[in-house]
Amino acid sequence: MSVEEARREFVELLGEENVSWEPAVLDCYAWQPTFNDDPDRWVKRPVAVVLPSSTEEVQEVVRICNRHGLRFKSFSTGWGAWNGPTFDNVVQVDLRRMDRIVEIDAKNMYAVIEPYVNGAQLQAEAMKVGLNTHIIGAGPNCSPLASATSGWGVGHDSIYMSYSARNLLGVEWVLPDGEVLRLGTLGSSGEWFNGDGPGPSLRGIMRGSCGALSGLGIFTRCALKLYNWPGPPEMEIDGIMLDAKMEVPENIGYYMCFFPDRKAFSDAMYKLGEAEIAYNALATSFGGYFDILTPRLFRKIEHADSIRSMIVNTFKYTLAILFAANSARELAYQEKVLHAIVREHGGFAMDVTRIKDFFSMLFMSFVRATIPALVFRMGGSFSTALDRNDALDSQAAWREVVREIKEGYIRKGQILDDLADNPYFVPYENNTWCHCEVVYQYDPRDPKHREALEPIFLDVTIAAIERCMEPLFTSDPRVRRLISPLAGNFSKYQQAISRGLDPKQAADNTLYSAEADFDFSGIDPQRVRRLQEVVEQRRW
């Protein structure tokens, strides 16, 4: 391994200003505090950072890594601990110079983009031609290419625009040995419109459910399916977030629906899905809303049981639903259907468009998912309970399981009080499946909170396995070792794929295929025993 030699070659390839190994500069890639439960919050420092600007340069970077026994880790925008190196010899490939929208094909409803196009940019351009793009719930700061090709992909619009991976058409993929592979129609005819051929598909290997998180190479371009946008081509908004003011655009409807109990909520959700009327839909957690919108007030009413129970019980089963209709007549139809379904299930629907300030603030938080980064307002950090995609009614039940677990930690002051109910609960594709990821908030500077992170993670892991829920953090090598035997030993297949595509193991693939053990020292032995028991019971 010759780091020096590799650095010299990088400079030759990319020019001095696009390569650095200055320690403070590298630390800007090693500081990854989000979704990082390690109290230190620094991840490993890369040996160099490189900024390629084309597919050819990416290929050459990968080849240099192969030649010099280095690993590479790429990212598009780089938010979250999964972007950082996990080995000591990693070259960080920052793709921000690849920032073009190559093409928007309005007729065939797709866009071809590079990694550093963000959701807001793509949406703004798509809306100009009456189209829209799926934006993940993390927000418009994220790269649509990254989530489509490499990691997760749920968003507030998933009821209409699905999961990122499902929108993926042609893909240009630099494999871990530097070869380029083009998938779908791109691989046969050079056109972008279909992800599964004629031409190689490999969608399962390339992306799978979670994404390889840079563990199988680097994606340099992809085509994404776009959807109908009947709203205005450009938003006229005054203000930048909570202060936003706007007129309600034509043919847009926005409702909050309140249901009396879980069954009514789930049944109504199914019906709404069958009716195919929603543009965005999200089960709202008022705990979550209040703590990002009024965090100071909320910290003041912490542990005030009367107020807590009033809010929790009033707003327990709430759905926010947005309509974007092609005509006034269609909107009227959608609203009529909504009212009928809500009434039938004993609920009531509140027309948010009539509360103009509230609507103004919320509209873009829905359509562009602008709000998620507010989650840091309450305590400075957050994490989410294990579990991801499942049937809608199982998710509704799961939400309550985690609520119970969270209550215990809130009572002990080990996480912040968000009324114990803060799920990111989003149906996909008119409710054929559903995402539920329960958020808990903490202050990373508080040792009591930090100490609770492992136990809470373990508690929700046990609960998820007990209920056979599909787990979220399979990217965590410890979770992978634990649950792979419960799900067809998927980890073994991933390792085989990794060996096949990456003979020199040049990709930093820890989050794709490595396994590791939990450190149970200091954890309540009863919990550990319970975990081992449930794993044993559910092993294939």
Partner 1 sequence: MALQDYLRDMEGCSRCSSCKWVPFNQVKSWRFAKNCPSVTRHNLHAFSGSGKMIMGLSMVSGRSELNDTVTEIIYRCQLCGACDTACKVYRDDIDLMDVLLALRAHCVEQGQLIPEHMLTIDALKREDNVFGEPKARRGDWAEGLDVKDAVGEKPQVLFHAGCRYSYDPDLRETVRGAVRLLRSAGVDLGIAGADEACCGGRAFELGYQGESENFADDMVSRVKATGASVLVTACSDCYAAFNYLYPRMGKELGVELYHITQYLEKLAGEGRLRLRQRVPKLVTWHDPCHLGRKSEPFTGEWKGDKLLRPVTMKRTGKKGVYDAPRNVLKSIPGIELVEMERIKGYAWCCGAGGGVLEAFPEFAAWTAAERIEEALATGAEALVTSCPWCLRIFRDAVEETGALLEVYDLTELALVSAGEGVLAGGAAR
Ligand X SMILES: Cc1cc2nc3c(=O)[nH]c(=O)nc-3n(C[C@H](O)[C@H](O)[C@H](O)COP(=O)(O)OP(=O)(O)OC[C@H]3O[C@@H](n4cnc5c(N)ncnc54)[C@H](O)[C@@H]3O)c2cc1C
Give me 493's structure tokens. Answer: 């297949």
Smallest Cα–Cα separation from 186: which of 203, 200, 168, 206? 200
Select the binding partner of residue 146 from ligand X, partner 1, none (C-beta < 5 to 8 A, by kind): ligand X
For residue 318, the number of C-alpha atoms closer than 13 Å in the C-beta half-sphere is: 20
Distance CA 352, CA 332 (A): 15
Q: Which of 13, 18, 408, 487 binds partner 1 (CB under 8 A)?
A: 18
Chain centroid to Cα 71, Å, comes to: 25
Residue with tokens 């938080």: 365
Closest distance of CB 160 from ligand X, Å:
15
Pairs from 303-307 (Cβ < 8 Å, separation ≥ 24): 303/417
Residues pairing with 259 in the sheet: 317
Crossing angle for the helix pair 525-538 and 447-466, to the nearest 10 degrees: 30
Q: Does 94 bind partner 1 (CB under 8 A)?
A: yes
Chain-centre distance for alpha carbon 8: 36
CB of 51 to partner 1, least distance (A): 5
- Least separation in angstroms between CB 374 and partner 1: 5
Q: Contacts with partner 1 in 47-86 (CB under 8 A)?
A: 49, 51, 77-79
Tell me how far apart the alpha carbons of residues 252 and 249 are, in angstroms, rounded to a whole number: 6
x-or-dash pattern for partner 1, window 362-401, by CB under 8 A? --x---x-x--xx-xxxxxx--------------------
Burial letters 222-238, b for 16+ CB under 10 A, else e: bbbbbbebbbeeebeee
What is the binding site for ligand X (CB under 6 A)? 34-35, 73-80, 82-83, 95, 115, 136-138, 142-143, 145-147, 149-154, 213-214, 218-219, 372, 375, 424
Please state the length of the chain. Answer: 540
Kindly state the smallest distance separating residue 35's Cβ from partner 1, in Å. 10
Interaction of residue 243 with partner 1, rule CB under 8 A? yes
Choose the contact partner of 488 out of ligand X, partner 1, none; CB within 5 to 8 A by kind: none
Q: How far is the CB of 368 from partner 1 (least distance, A)?
A: 6
- How far apart are alpha carbons 151 and 164 in whole angstroms? 9
Least Cβ distance, residue 99 to ligand X (angstroms): 12
218 interface partner picked from partner 1, ligand X, none, CB below 5 to 8 A per type: ligand X
The CB-based long-range contact list for 192-196 (8 Å cut-off, 24+ gap) reads 192/103, 192/105, 192/110, 192/112, 192/223, 193/105, 193/108, 193/110, 193/169, 193/223, 194/169, 194/170, 195/168, 195/169, 195/170, 195/171, 195/223
| Ranges within 124-163 binding partner 1 (CB under 8 A) | 124-125, 139-141
83 closest CA partner among 138, 22, 25, 32: 32
Task: Report the partner that residue 76 touches, choosing among ligand X, partner 1, none (CB closer than 5 to 8 A by kind).
Answer: ligand X
Dihedral angle sign, alpha carbons of residues 43, 48, 51, 52: negative
Decide: 208 and 512 in contact? Cβ < 8 Å: no
Indicate the residue among 160 and 424 with the shorter CB distance to ligand X.
424
Stretch 500-519 residues interacting with partner 1 (CB under 8 A): none
**CB nearest ligand X: which residue?**
137
Options 31, 87, 493, 520; binder of partner 1; rule CB under 8 A: 31
Report, in Å, the least distance between residue 280 CB and ligand X: 13
Residues 293-322 that bind partner 1 (CB under 8 A): 295-296, 299
Q: What angle do CA 375, 120, 253 make, to 5 degrees?
A: 80
368 binds, among ligand X, partner 1, none (CB under 5 to 8 A by kind): partner 1
- 47 Cβ contact partners less than 8 Å away, ≥ 6 residues apart: 3, 6, 7, 21, 26, 70, 88, 89, 90, 91
- Residue 33 touches which member of ligand X, partner 1, none, C-beta under 5-8 Å by kind: partner 1
Please state the closest distance from residue 421 (CB atom) to ligand X, in A. Answer: 17
Selection from partner 1, ligand X, none that 495 binds (CB < 5 to 8 A by kind) is none
Residue 307, CB-side half-sphere exposure with 13 Å CA sphere: 13
- The counts of H helices and E strands in the chain are 20, 19
Residue placing its CB nearer to partner 1 in the complex, 27 or 524? 27
- Considering CB distances under 5 to 8 angstroms, the limit depending on partner class, which of ligand X, partner 1, none binds residue 244? partner 1
237 binds, among partner 1, ligand X, none (CB under 5 to 8 A by kind): partner 1
Asked if 16 interacts with partner 1 (CB under 8 A), we say no
Residues that bind partner 1 (CB under 8 A): 17-18, 20, 22-25, 27-29, 31-34, 41-42, 49, 51, 77-79, 94, 96-97, 101, 117-118, 120-125, 139-141, 234-235, 237, 239-241, 243-244, 295-296, 299, 364, 368, 370, 373-374, 376-381, 443, 445
